[in-house]
Structure 1
Amino acid sequence: MTTATALKGGADLNTNIRLDDERFPDAIGWRAKFGVLTPAPNTVVENEFHEMAPTGVVNVVNRYYVPNQKVRSDDDWRLIMAHTRRNVADAVEALVQAQMDHLIMGMSSESFMGGVEGSMALRKELKDRAGCDVTVGAEAAERAFEVVGARRIALLTPYYPVIDQNAVRYFTEKGYEVVAVEGLKCKSIIHVGAQRADTLIPAVKTLAAAKPDAIIQLGTNLRFARIADEAERWLGLPVFSVGTAIYWTALRKLGITDRFAGFGRLFEHH
């Protein structure tokens, strides 16, 4: 059967694919092409990553289907996680076609599910599918804590307890002491992206009262990167956005060491 016939729907289109595995320098991402996974309703992480990208680095973003589910209980978050597990594989396969140099999972919650064992299984699955290294939120948070020597930590999240508990489990298994958690119990993923300074700043101050070595915000759809940068100055301790930690980790893994202000101590000093 000819290619023309196949294109008319007369045969399985996959039988005519001839993948080009030759590598070409990208005109925009000549230093690195990041494949970025993000849930469909997430409006923040993609734009924050674009703000952080140094010259010569491009973000190739693919959104996998997750419903903008109303969240009123732990079960609602479990449904969101189930959609992530069902749909993320196809999203990775699509990003493979862009010949990405590195895969970033721009959703932090999934990287904590099942504690350390679950997180490591996720990383392996993503790496095997992508054919390149991967960075996820749990790993990036650890790297951020390591550079400042933090062991007593506090968490700011948009989640319900089912996700918070998995994050606490992960960090505890890694030897950290979680001294405080502020879960905002946002009403949906879109509602996460609507949180502003008047909610986030008081939450950070409440966490600081527990005297942690460092604070980290989880949930990549919280617009927190710039607030974290400011909070470090008026609290006098490390305050990390998980999105910043993820992007910083991915860049450093590829040997890209650009330093710049506006996104906290990770990019300014490390």
Structure 2
Amino acid sequence: MTAIRIERATLVPQLDPRAVARRIGLIVLATDHTTEQDFRRMVAREDLAVYTARIAYENPTTPDNLRLMQPRLKDGAALLLPDESLDVICYSCTSASVVIGDGQVEAAIQAAKPGTPVVTPPLAAVAGLRALGTRRISILTPYTVETSTPMAAYFAGHGLDIARFTCLGFEDDREMARIKPASLIEAAVAAMVPDAEALFISCTALRSAAVVPEIERAIGRPVVTSNLATAWQCLRLCGVEAARPEWGRLMGLPARAAA
């Protein structure tokens, strides 16, 4: 076989500062079916990319099992574009963020990515509910009573008045991801009370973000879900102001509300 001559080009290619202008890191559970798809639809765009790392998690979804993820957060964050900066990192687990604590989640992630803003679903939801001007809310979770109890304390501790708290009793987040959207709409309508100003639907596993507009039409009030709240906050922290009314009322609110 005749040897093929390979020549080194004399042209020196010029480099952009980044391959993509804005970069969001996403830490998801190994069992997660939903978050990446929601962020692909609501967040990713030509000038904004989402980079994902998965961390180990084993069901059932109990406070003790959720806490086991805390020491894994640093390693998960370190896998997100090593030695490169990110504009924001989201840890996509609502119930774990509640039982571990927002501050502890932030500290673990920033141990690998110093100075990077960190978004958690419950704190993003609080910011979203406040931005919507609501205080008295209903809450719907797919969890058991045991796992829902710390969440009730969390939202009450952030100054929100809980009119009704409903849980569906699931222990496996893979089954939570399989709940049909039509059933989520039905459960959301049933979870509301007349004097609640908004509804929060917890859990990043649920396919609830896609049906927020339908739920808002059914109940006549704003709806915030875990993935909707983190998507909104990540976008605004990246300076993306464009309203996305097709995703519900929250996606029309500006950056000052996300800070």
**TM-score, normalised to structure 2's length?**
0.84
Query: Do the aligned partners of 1:229 and 1:262 also contact (CA within 8 Å) in 2?
Result: yes
> Which of 81, 102, 117 is the equivalent residue of 1:119?
102
Query: Do the aligned partners of 2:140 and 2:165 also contact (CA within 8 Å) in 1?
Result: yes
- Cα deviations across residues 123-175 of structure 1 (Å, max 9, x unaligned)? 23323432211111121111111111111111111111232111111111111
Q: Give the structure with the higher percent helix.
A: 1
SS of structure 1 residue aligned to 2:170: coil
Q: List runs of 5+ in structure 1 lacking aligned partners.
A: 1-22
> Which of 100, 110, 127 is the equivalent residue of 2:86?
100
For 2:50 and 2:57, the matched residues in 1 are separated by 21
For 2:238 and 2:47, the matched residues in 1 are separated by 13
**Given the alignment of the two structures, is residue 155 of structure 1 paired with residue 139 of structure 2, yes or no?**
yes
Give the percent of matched residue pairs that are identical in Structure 1 and Structure 2: 22
- Cα deviations across residues 99-124 of structure 1 (Å, max 9, x unaligned)? 3221111111122116xxx3223223
Q: Which residue of 2 aligns with 1:82?
A: 67
- 1:210 Cα offset (Å): 5.0
Query: Do the aligned partners of 2:23 and 2:86 also contact (CA within 8 Å) in 1?
Result: yes
Q: Which residue of 1 aligns with 2:47?
A: 56
Q: Which residue of 2 aligns with 1:25?
A: 17
SS of structure 1 residue aligned to 2:23: strand
Q: List runs of 5+ in structure 2 lacking aligned partners.
A: 1-14, 255-259
> Which of 188, 191, 194 is the equivalent residue of 2:172?
188
For 2:48 and 2:105, the matched residues in 1 are separated by 25
1:204-243 correspondence runs (5 A): 204-243=188-227
> Which of 65, 81, 90 is the equivalent residue of 2:56?
65
Q: CA RMSD of the aligned region, Å?
A: 1.9
- 1:261 Cα offset (Å): 3.1
**Given the alignment of the two structures, is residue 130 of structure 1 paired with residue 113 of structure 2, yes or no?**
yes
Query: Do the aligned partners of 1:38 and 1:62 also contact (CA within 8 Å) in 2?
Result: yes
For 1:154 and 1:60, the matched residues in 2 are separated by 33
SS of structure 1 residue aligned to 2:53: strand
Query: Do the aligned partners of 2:199 and 2:222 also contact (CA within 8 Å) in 1?
Result: yes
- 1:229 Cα offset (Å): 1.9
For 2:219 and 2:191, the matched residues in 1 are separated by 11
User: CA 1:208/1:218 → structure 2, altered by over 3 Å: closer, same or farther?
Assistant: same
SS of structure 2 residue aligned to 1:95: coil
- 1:92 Cα offset (Å): 1.0
1:166-177 correspondence runs (5 A): 166-177=150-161
- Tell me the amino acid that sits aligned with residue 178 of structure 2: A
> Which of 13, 29, 44 is the equivalent residue of 1:39?
29
After the TM superposition, which of the residue ranges 87-96 and 33-42 deviates more from structure 2? 87-96
For 1:258 and 1:198, the matched residues in 2 are separated by 29
Shift >4 Å, 4+ stretches:
none
Aligned residue pairs, count: 237
- Tell me the amino acid that sits aligned with residue 78 of structure 1: P
User: CA 1:248/1:242 → structure 2, altered by over 3 Å: closer, same or farther?
Assistant: same
